[in-house]
Amino acid sequence: MKRNLAKQILIIAVLSFLTIASQAQYLWNSDSAFKAGAANSGRIWGYVFGDFYAKGHSDSANRGGNNQYTGIPTSRSAFQFRRIYLGYDYNISKNFSAELLLAAEDNFPTGNPTSNVAVAGNTPQSGAGDLLGDGKLTFYIKNANVRWKNIWKGTDLVVGEMATPTFALLTERVWAYRSVERTITDIRRSPSYDLGAALQGKFDAKGNFGYNLMVGNGSSAKPEADNFKWFYADVWAMALDKKLIFDIYGDYERLNWTSTWHHSRQMTKAYVAYNTPGLTIGVEGYVNVMKNDNLASRYTARPGGASIDTLTSNALGISAYVHGDIIKGKLRFFARYDNTKPNSKVDNATYKSYANPAGNYDYNNKEQFVTAGLDFTPVKNVHFMPNIWYNNYKSEQPAAIAGGKLRSDYDAVYRLTFYFVFGK
3-state secondary structure 356-395: CCCCCCCCCEEEEEEEEEEEECCCCCEEEEEEEEEEEEEE
Quote the CA–CA distance of 178 and 396 in Å, as a whole number.
29
- The residue count for the chain: 424
Residue-wise DSSP of 139-166: -EEEEEEEEEEEEETTEEEEEEEEE-TT
Nearest partner of 123 among 307, 407, 366, 360, judged by Cα? 360
Same domain, 29 and 121: no
Same domain, 138 and 13: no
Q: Report the 3 state secondary structure along 213-237.
A: EEEECCCCCCCCCCCCCEEEEEEEE
> Taking the model in full, what pTM does it have?
0.87
Same domain, 285 and 362: yes
Residue-wise pLDDT for 256-292, tens only, equals 888 888 889 999 999 999 999 999 999 999 999 999 9
Band of the pLDDT at 80, cuts 50, 70, 90? very high
Q: How many domains does the chain have?
A: 2
Distances (CA, A) of 100 to 43, 78, 147, 412, 417: 11, 31, 12, 36, 26
Domain that holds residue 68: 42-422
Same domain, 4 and 123: no
Same domain, 22 and 47: no
Quote the CA–CA distance of 74 and 62 in Å, as a whole number.
11
Residue 352 vs residue 4, higher pLDDT: 352
Residue-wise pLDDT for 344-375, tens only, equals 999 988 998 898 887 778 999 999 999 999 99
Same domain, 187 and 59: yes
What is the average pLDDT value for the chain, to the nearest integer? 87
Same domain, 2 and 93: no
Burial of 326 (0-12, 13-18, 19+ CB in 10 A): exposed
